[in-house]
Amino acid sequence: MSKPKHPRFLEETEAQAIVSNLRVSPRKLNLVAALIRNRSAADAVATLTFSKRRIAHQVRKALESAIANAENNHQLDVDRLVVSRAEVGRSVVMRRMHARGRGRSARVEKWFSHLKIVVAEEVPESEAAGQEAA
């Protein structure tokens, strides 16, 4: 006896990649995620490749993982992929102490984030109109 198959929460034309505990604050990560939302996958990879943000490299790796999942696991066409969602969530916060003057201390918070990238296969309008007529 095995466990029942986990239900799929995504559409048949979607694939995703999830990265947990990225060492960047959610605020900063969301700035990078906003660069790639609603762009074609190839355009988003190019944008992240030339971004000056430190975390852009890891976001690009997550995006390439989502593209590979779409191609290998769900047999989607790579040329039609679009970044439909790039969700940023809050993870743990490490709290450290920083020595201050006169024997006091201050708290330093080191934020971590979660990232979820969903790519979807977009059907061109010319094919969509042809399917509706049939």
In a domain, 3, yes or no: no
Mean pLDDT by 10 residues, the chain (134 residues): 85 97 98 98 98 98 98 96 98 98 98 98 79 65
Number of domains in the chain: 1
Residue 66 maps to a domain = yes
Within-domain flag for 91: yes
Q: Residue 64 belongs to what domain range?
A: 14-133
Q: Could you tell me the CATH number of the domain that includes residue 90?
A: 3.90.470.10
How high is the pLDDT of residue 36?
98
Secondary structure (DSSP) of 83-130: EEEEEEEEEEEEEEEEE-GGG-EEEEEEEEEEEEEEEEEPPPHHHHHH
Q: What's the pLDDT score for residue 134?
A: 58
Cβ atoms of 56 and 32 closer than 8 Å: yes
Angle in degrees, 0-180, between the axes of helices 41-49 and 26-36, rounded to the nearest 10: 130
The candidate with the shortest Cα–Cα distance to 68, out of 32, 33, 31, 117, is 117
How far, in Å, CA of 9 to CA of 105, rounded?
Answer: 47
Strands 81-99 and 105-121: antiparallel
Is residue 5 a part of any domain in this protein? no
Q: Does residue 94 belong to any structural domain of this protein?
A: yes
Does residue 118 belong to any structural domain of this protein?
yes
Q: State the pLDDT at residue 85.
A: 97
Burial class (CB in 10 A: 0-12, 13-18, 19+), 75: exposed
pTM: 0.89
| Cβ-contact 91, 114 below 8 angstroms | yes
Closest Cα partner for 36 from 82, 78, 80, 69?
Answer: 82
